[in-house]
Amino acid sequence: MRSASKGMQLCANGCWRLTDRRRPITRVDISRIRTRTHPNEDVAELIDESWRRFEYPGGPGGRVAIFVDPEFPMLGRDAVYYARAFEAPSQTGRWEAAAL
């Protein structure tokens, strides 16, 4: 387990209330961002927010999100995928950053 001080180093002291206590990950959202192929393309139409969603039941343990983009070969452009993990709410309802 990494220490809170290691986590602070990794997040450049930008984390709030960093702790070694973990809450379960309940969901992972994958967003897909496609590159523009010409300057007049509307960038908003190239962003697929929550393109894929992985839901996880409660409880401790690691989480894995594996996906394939079957449309990628036909897109004719590069794409980047961004993963966002969501923690279970805390018992107190206050936000705490998860230790890295």
31-89 pLDDT per residue, tens: 999 999 999 999 999 999 989 999 988 666 778 889 999 999 999 999 999 999 888 87
Domain membership flag for residue 100: no
Domain membership flag for residue 81: yes
| Residue 99: pLDDT band with limits 50, 70, 90 | very low
| Residue 17: pLDDT band with limits 50, 70, 90 | low
Q: Is the pLDDT score of 100 beyond 50? A: no
Domain count, the chain: 1
Range 34-58 burial, b when 16+ CB lie within 10 A, else e = beeeeeeeeeeebebeebbebebee
Residue ranges making up the domain that contains 67: 25-87
Q: How many CA atoms lie within 13 A of 77 on its CB side?
A: 12
Is residue 52 a contact partner of residue 27, using CB atoms and an 8 Å limit?
Answer: no
Domain membership flag for residue 72: yes
The mean pLDDT value for 13-35 works out to 79
Domain membership flag for residue 6: no
